[in-house]
Structure formats: structure tokens, C-alpha cells
Structure 1
């Protein structure tokens, strides 16, 4: 089934749902005119349809492999990556001083969504580079920027992120990789890192690893971690790839999905690296890349959901089963329910992600602390809800196919297998929810309350036009406000016990808000009908989710491990 890039949907959301006009009105992003946005999205969509989408099955059927220490990528991936790089799609938001387009993150987010829908395994490579580019822009020396950024932005070189070790997963502070000063401003990096997405390839000139390591005498935990840039090939004086560094790919993981994306175990044996940022301040620098990646991974989930939905819809429209009006299974109530749920949830998750990107753009353009707080608040919601949507939609896609969904040849199962890891990497979704009720409510809930004030104000303004949709949205906002107040008032243990349902309840209400805005912009159109479906059938889930969130930790931990094992 050919993938169709829904460029018109992104334009609709930019114009009517997520407030992109505010971004385009700033001096920083004044070049993001409607004409520019249309041109960029149209060309990116064409590339996704014609070049990336045909690679989706190839990556699954012919996985990346390690041969004699060399990573061999899936058939066609080299040409696909070259199309991404040559089109400038890696560096839409990167600094023009080093070759980037300097356009808003909102546009990068839309393009990443389309690339993820077309071929998620390959999209991971430019996503890693995007995060590294941002980290270097914020924390590297001018010399490092001048050497590495033009190559990363052009796609000649690719970036990775090295955090995890066999004994240090989410507990990053337990890492054991060492960095010893060489006496010439460089460092010798020694240790092993695992789960390194696109740790190597056979189509770029160099691979640039950002590696967390510990300097001699550093304190234990995350406060003693530093960040280093460790290239596969050490640049010579002219900035070209030179001698091989002392690092290697030990093995590639055998994974449930994303077979086209090589996930490497990396070994560093005194490899030469350069400090990024200050000594012992590596987590702050790495979080620049991680926050970029958390938005990007949420969008991966949404893109995968879009691909799965289009795949399921095409199958349902072609599948004849019983006597129905349209002579296909879309007329069966349960199939129609699943397809509508898929479509409505994708819209909600996509709107949250784009609103997150708009907040990042407004912070970049204005330096306003309120926009920074909005972006921070939306990041864990985007990551967790976007990836959960990807998993749910892909699973429903298998169900729509019926028995054929369980048969690999149809390709439906691949979406479910590929997207599953997105809820795990870049901070598990449980960690995202703890971040939301912990760090993101440390302001006493002010950022959340400002967002709720806007949501309720916009609902009130729409009461006359769409009263049947406004009232449930307004009431849901009030329930979310009360639950946020509960979270602010209670101890961390109680918050954490209800953090996952709180995040999903928050996302449910946010999704209704954006669906309502779409309905107002499209009266009597498909967005209005989709909004009615979401608000009347999916939004009610927030009641149970937020009630769950307010239960605290007592009953949860009263259920002992022995009880669970009995």
C-alpha cells in the first residue's frame, strides 16, 4: 500500500489548531511564510512517498548486519539517506551559519512525522543527527562547531547518542565509562555502551558519537558525568576524516522490530574524544540532545501510527466480508470504531506534538520564560502519548486486518513491532510521567494552570457555536485542574503512584481541546465530525484516568511483592 503524505493536514493544523501564526510573526522566523511552509512540506512529502516508503519492507526483510566489523545496511537505505541529506531535511532547524535552513522546529516536526510514517528505521538516523546538532550548537567550542556542524548538517557525517551501559540503563549515574586527559586538550575514552541507534553505517563518511563518561576524581552519580564527542574517524587538520579512532561495533542487537536500524554495542578503548560543555556538566549538555529526541521520538510514534492507519484503511476498503452498503468491512461497526479511533487519536497526539514544537520556537524567538515552561510541560506528554498512540494504533491496525494482520506478508505487524521500542528509549514512558508530576510541577503547577486557563477560555468562546462539544471539554478541564492541584499538594511518592494515568488523562483533555479548535475551523466538515467522535467517545476516559491518578501510594504499596508472587 503506497504511503500518502498528508501535507494538507499539517497546513490545517498550522493555520487553525496549534498557533503557528505566532511563530511566523516573529523576527526570528519571519521567513516561515505560508508559501515557504507549503513548499517545504510538499517537497518533503514527495520524498517520503516516492523514496522512503518503498524502503519500509526492505528494512524489515533484510536487516542491517555486521560483517567482519563492518555494518552493512538494508537494500536501498543508502539512496534513501542520501535523499534525506541532499534535500536538507536533516537540518531544517539548524543554524544557517553552518549550512542549516534556520526554519522553525515546528516544520522539522512535521517532516519527521512524515518520514517516520514512510520508513521509521531509516528516519532514526537523521533524528540522532538533529539532536547532536542542537547539543553542539549550545555547548561546543567554536572550533568543534566549525569542524563538525557543517558535516552533520550536510549529512556527510551522522551523529549518535551514547548513554546506556549494561549496568546503567535509566540510572545513568551508574555508568562506568572513563575519560582520562591526554594532556593536549583531548581525552581517552574507555568503556562499553549498548543500544546505540545507528552506531555505524556504510553510507556516511564518518560517525560522530556523543559519549557520557566520568573523569578521574569525579563524584558518584549524575553530577560527576561529562560529555565527549568521539568520532569514528579523527578529523585531520583540514577537517576531513583521517585515522581510525580506537572504537568498534562489537555486535548488533537482534530486535523485535526496527530491523533496518542497526542498534550497536559500542566498545571504546582509549578512543580520542573532545569535551563538550564543562567538566562534570555532561548531563546538562546531553539533556539538550535528549529533549530534542523526546519530541522526536513522540513524533516517531505518531508517524508510525499514521503509516499503520493508512495501511489498515486501505485494507478495509478493499476487504469484502458480508453484505454491506460499501461492499467492504468499513461498514461493520467495530471496524468503523477502530478506524475512527485511530484517526482521532493520531490527530490529538499530532496536535500536542506540534503545539510542543510551537512553544519551543516561541521560546527560541522571544526568550520568554512562559514559553520555555510550556515547552517543558508538553515534552513528556508528547513523548509518552505520542508513542502510546503509535502502539495502540498499530495494534488496532493488526486487528482491522483480522487473520491477515497476523501474517507477516501483509506488513501490518511490522508497524506494531517497529513502534514498540519508542515507549522505552529516550526515557521510558513511566519516567516521562514522573518527570511531568515531579520536575514539571515544581513551579507549583503554574505552567499547567496557564495552559488550562487558555483551554477553558477558548472553550467558553466557542460555547455558542458548538455547545454540545464545548461543555464536556470545559468540564474535563476542570477535572484536570483539580487533579493537578492534588498532585501539587501531595508528596512525590503519591504523585509517582498516579503519574502514568495523570499524564494520559492530561493528554486526553489536551486532545479534546485541539479537536475542538479544529471543529471550530471546519464547521460541518470532517474535522467537526472527527472532533465529535473524540469528545463524546474517547474524552470520557479522562474521568477514570484522573480518578486513578488521585489514589496515592498507600494501596499500591500495600500490595506486596509476595502478594504478586502468590
Structure 2
């Protein structure tokens, strides 16, 4: 059974309590967003997620999207839900007020995204991609394009896409073939085909604005010859309303493993009129502005699915009776005890809980940096925020989605055979979660980005934004009595991370394959240490609240227990990651290709 109630108390803990000492807060531009206002927004978002989107999740999965005469129809109820979502201002939550947005902190936006993803991941892609598109346009589009398109995209009247992938090239965009021919009026005519385009065609909005990577006739070969273009589905008339069709057609919709209510399309552009976004042959720079925004959001997708899977598993574990507790009967009036009494079920539930709380805590920290990067007036703080975001973006994308998929799988395992049956609803979480590890750059690509670009950048400057606060925290709390063992565990894991960093730096200079061979383990290791740091802080804060006599005893005690489980059962993975990194590439690369 798909069960979900927004974890508002934990969200408020992360927003208002956990990261107040990170140096990214107290932003004058966000002073109006008081805790009371933020809480009210989150509570309303929870209602939309639980009451509007969740009931459509399974039915949307069963019905899926259909292609009829070149038009994609979303499942029953999606259009009405989108209209309500748009009219409620949720599309414009974190967008710039200059274009009609509400300008809320990114911290609040990411918490809202999590709720939407938990309730209905397929639905989340429609407004999510539009927000990514507006981010790229705000940074690179001409004033004319901004005035013409941003207000309607920000409001949700029009939606957006990102069109990168072609049938013969995915990650290697240098091979793309879509052409953009300049016209006398300053526009371009685009021709080519794109695949895997999320929200490429649908019936939720009156127009769809495609951001398309293409190559001009005289463009240099490879990635240095790619430009970005804005191509609307319908050309706007003088009054701003959609006019004639613009040569964008749907060849097919993809039949996918999951996300069946999200329209993933094959699109053809046939002399479609478009306009350059940014500078010629600098399209990747502009597109990566959108993709980096989306990569953090995709990480949140993993967290959202993980939370829904966890709650559904807890519901079942309390209801399902099977066997007797090894410590004595707990349900004497029934034929068996609920399965939540069994240690292995507890292992799975606690793992899921710890993954979710750890990811939420880390996402809160990264979101605060996103706000500081945008709004801080202190150059030092802004630079540190930029460095931290650059370092953590591949970690959030890769680790959160890996853990979200692991959590979804554990949810099915908790249900046993019933979890494998579609009627339970939990197998959908596994199918939906799987794509998050692939799109917006596979998790392997994220790992390569981390070790190949982020670690060596500016002589390792990005790392300092993370290493410094962690080392200072460990040093300041080494003698802490209550959580000394926890701090010791963090220190050991952090030491493994430091040694791994040095190993990769030393070997990678001599042989790039050595760094690449260690990339995935290193990404997981950095994520584990980052979450461990957040958990240690959370446990100490919770203990202080209990000592002060807080009435929320159950919440803070549970926070401490979850932290202890994380340090006992999950953070030791850091040692295995370090040993794998230290082993080098030899056994991975020595087998001849023909021997596989």
C-alpha cells in the first residue's frame, strides 16, 4: 500500500535547527521568510502532495501516457491536478519575483520538491523541468526572450524541456547532429531528432518551450561547436498567446520501466524556428546551468522515493503478523506478532530511515548554500557557497539516487512476496527510482565529474569548503562524553576520506584511469562522511534540546537513536570504500575485452 505523510517535523528540524552555524544563513534578502511563514508554506505543500498528487500516483502508473494523433494525453486527473498546482502558485515558488515568482528560499523549494516526489514522481517532472529551464534562461537569454517567455513559464502557463540526447549520442554530446541554420531576421531554423525528452509533449499547458542543443553550419567539431536554442511548440502571436505550430512533432513516446505518467518523447524538429540562448558555440555552458539545477533536484527525487517507500514499509511491518518475537510474545491475542518485532525487519526499516534522514540533512545544508550563492552580499561567503555547491552537486545526485533505489528495494523486501505483486504499490517505487540513477548524467558520470573536475579544481579549493567545517567540528568535540564514540567514528571515516583523496590525487596525476577506477567509491565515501557529520551534529543538538526540557521528547530521542544506528551500521561502509580505492585499478582493467 502506498502510504505517505510529509515528514514535516524533520523538515523543520533541518530548516530551523540543524545548520544555523554553517555561515550561510542570516541573508538580508530572505528576511521576510520567517519560520512561521516557511512552516505555513510547507504545511500547505504537504496537503497538495498528500491529498491531490498521491491519489494519482498508482492510477497514473497503471494508465500511463498515450499518443493520439500527435498529441500526448496524460493520465486521468493529471490535468486537473496540474491546474490546481499552477493556480496555487507552486510552479513559481522559488522563481525570481521579477518574472512573477515568489522568491522563496531554495531550502523551502527543495523540501517542497521532496514532498511532490514522494507523492507522485511522474507529476514532479512537469513543473521541475520548467524550473530548470527558467534558471538557464535567467542566466543566459536575451532580455527580449526573457520578457516574452519567462513570465508564462514561471507561472506554469507554459512548460519547458531540455533537449540534449539523440539516438546515436547520450553523454558524448560532441557527436550531436541537430542543425541550426541562421535566418536573416536573427532567428534560426532547427532540424533534427531528439530522444528521451521528459515532458516533451503533453496536455497540461497551452505551450511547451524547448531548450535545444544544436550545431550551426560553421560550428567547430565536438563540444566546442554546440549552441543552445529556445524553440517553442507554438510560435507566440503579438499578444503573447500561442499561434501557429512550429514544426515540432512527436515521433513516439517511450515505453519505460517506470515513470509511466511522465511523457518521455522522441521529438522531431523540422525547420522549427528558434532563437539563440547565450553565445554561439557556448551552448553547453548555458545548458549546464540548467543541468546542475536539475542534478540537485534529481537527488531530491531519490530522497522523495526513499521516504515514500520507508513509510509504506513501516505501515506494512506494523500491520502484517508473521511468526513470534524472539524475545517473547508481543501480540498474545493474535496468532502471530507483527513483523516489526523481528531484528532483520528492524535492520531494513532503520537503514531506510537513516538513509532518508541523512539525505534530508545534507540536502538542507546544500540548499542553504544555494541561497547564499544567490543572495549573500559577502564575497567570501558567496565564494564558499559556490565551492560547496560545486563539490556537493555530483554527490547529492549520485548518492541520494543510489540510496533512494536501495531504500525502494528494501521496501519491497519488507513486504515479501506481496511487495513483488503490483497491487501492493511498492514495486512502483523501485521502477520509478531506477531512472534517477541514469538521467541528468549517470551516477558514474557524476563520480567522474567529482574526481576528474571538482577535486583538482583551483588546487583543491572546493574540498576546503567541506573539509574545514568537518575537521573543526571533530576537533571541538573530541572530548564530548555522551557522543564520544560517535565523534571517534566520524574522525575515522573522515580520515579514510582524506587518505582516499590523497591516493586519488597521487595516482590520478600519473594515470587518469586510476582516478576513474576509484570514482564511484569515492563519491559514496564523501556522501557517507557528509551525512555522518550531519548526524553527529543532529544528535548533539537533540541531546541539548532534551536537556533543556523540550516537550518533543519522542522526536529528539528518535533522532539520537537513528544517528547511533547510522554510526553503528552504515558509516562503517567508509572503510570498505577506502580499501577498494586503495586497491587501485589493476584487477578492474587487466582482463582483456575479448575475455568478457
TM-score, reference length from structure 2: 0.93
The residue aligned with 1:449 is: 464
- 8 A Cα contact 2:390 2:462, kept in partner: no
- Give the CA deviation at 1:24: 4.8
Conserved 8 A contact 2:295-2:393: yes
Partner of 2:539: 519
Aligned-pair RMSD on alpha carbons? Answer: 1.4
Match of 1:461 in 2: 476
Q: Which residue of 2 aligns with 1:429?
A: 443
Give yes or no for the alignment of 1:554 onto 2:569: no
Structure 1 moving runs of 4+ over 3 Å = 18-24
Partner of 1:493: 513
Q: Distance in 2 between matches of 1:298 and 1:202?
A: 27
Question: Which stretch has the larger CA shift, 16-25 or 57-66?
Answer: 16-25
Moved more, 218-227 or 33-42: 33-42
Moved more, 542-551 or 145-154: 542-551
Give the Cα separation in 1 of the matches to 2:372 and 2:444: 28
* Mapped contact 1:179–1:189 kept (Cα < 8 A): yes
Q: Which residue of 2 aligns with 1:536?
A: 568
**Cross-structure match for 2:213:** 212
Distance 1:73 1:337 in 2: 39
Contact 1:350 1:386 in 2 (8 A): no
Question: Is it true that 1:259 corresponds to 2:279 in the alignment?
Answer: no
Give the Cα–Cα distance (whole angstroms) in 1 for the partners of residues 249 and 42 of structure 2: 38
Shift of residue 308 of structure 1?
A: 0.8
Q: CA deviation at 1:488?
A: 2.1
Going from structure 1 to structure 2, the CA distance change for 1:53 and 1:473 (only over 3 Å counts) comes to: same
Between 543-552 and 55-64, report the one with greater CA deviation.
543-552
Cα distance between partner residues in 1 of 2:483 and 2:184: 69
- Structure 2 CA distance for aligned equivalents of residues 450 and 476 of structure 1: 18
CA displacement 1:349-385 (0-9 Å, x = unmatched): 2222222221111111225222101000000000001
Are residues 1:419 and 2:420 paired?
A: no
Report the secondary structure of 1:505's partner residue: helix
State how far apart, in whole Å, the 2-side matches of 1:11 and 1:58 are. Answer: 31
* Cα drift, residue 244 of structure 1: 0.8
**2:387 maps to what in 1?**
373
Contact 1:302 1:387 in 2 (8 A): yes
Deviations 1:164-221 (A, max 9, x none): 0001101011100000012101100000000000111112110100000000110111
The residue that corresponds to 1:440 in the other structure is 454
CA distance in 2, matches of 1:113, 1:20: 24
Answer whether contact 1:352 1:378 (CA < 8 A) is retained.
Answer: no
SS at match of 2:180: strand
- The yes-or-no answer on 1:362 pairing with 2:376 is no
Secondary structure in 2 aligned to 1:191? strand
- State the partner residue of 1:337: 347
Output one character per residue of 1:201-246: Cα deviation in whole Å (capped at 9) or x when no partner.
1121101000000001101111100000000010111211111111
Deviation of 1:138 after TM superposition, in Å, equals: 0.5
Q: Conserved in 2, the CA contact under 8 Å of 1:24 and 1:32?
A: no
Paired residue total:
564
User: Distance in 2 between the 1:77 and 1:384 partners?
Assistant: 29
1:209-248 residue pairs with structure 2 within 5 A?
A: 209-248=210-249
Q: SS state of the match for residue 269, structure 1?
A: strand
Distance in 2, matches of 1:411 and 1:32, equals 37
* Structure 1: stretches of 5+ with no match in the other structure: none
Paired residue secondary structure (2:52): helix
Q: Which residue of 1 aligns with 2:324?
A: 323
- Tell me which residue corresponds to 1:348: 358
Name the counterpart of 2:180: 179
